Amino acid sequence: MNTPDDAISPEAAKAEALHQSALEALERKELVAAKDGFTQALAAFDALGDDIGVAMTSHNLGLTSQEAGDLEEARQWLEKSLAISEREDLEGGMTVTCHQLGVVAQLGEDYEAARDWYVRALALEEKSGNVVGEAKTSHQLGIVCHLLGDLPAAKAWYNRAIAGFEGVGDAQTAATTKKLLDYLSDYERQGSHEGHEGPCSRHQ
């Protein structure tokens, strides 16, 4: 992508406009239009030799495929994006894409892979001081550890997430995580999921 000081060529402006239009379609859940727009933007960025644009657009094609329920295609697009971010040493891109690969693995019920991706994302968030990202990833790690049956780890991750959300003043999300922690504590005491809404009853 271009920096503010760069002169933006007509071709680059068109690529960015295509990408923005596709993002707006994705936000409206117009998945066919989003995929078509991102595909056009990807070709435009590729023709420009804009690796950052290609990585960003590949990531968003992964999101679009995830929304459409095609988790394998989502994984492939995200891995393509990650490979470019790694090659170009784009830590921000690596962070968000590792986290999203965790989400895709979690949706596919591959909880061990999800945990590994989240741990990798968390390390990058810690390195960059992304406190909000750390809290969100800790929340997801709590869920997948619970689903894997590692209840002590799940409790530790939930507590870390709560502290992180509270630290940035996000009381609402902290309360959501507290509900999962309470559910887990009840489960440990009662040995049953009956009557509770917890992570085992839904996909995130």
Domain ranges of the chain: 14-89, 112-191
Collect the ranges in the chain with pLDDT lower than 50.
1-5, 193-197, 200-204
Distance CA 106, CA 141 (A): 10
Overall pTM surpassing 0.75 (yes/no): yes
Of the CA atoms within 13 Å of residue 146, those in its CB half-sphere come to 29
Burial of 51 (0-12, 13-18, 19+ CB in 10 A): middle
Fold identical between 14-89 and 112-191? yes
For the 112-191 domain, the top CATH level (class) is mainly alpha
pLDDT tens digits, residue range 25-62? 999 999 999 999 999 999 999 999 999 999 999 999 99
CATH architecture classification, 14-89: Alpha Horseshoe (1.25)
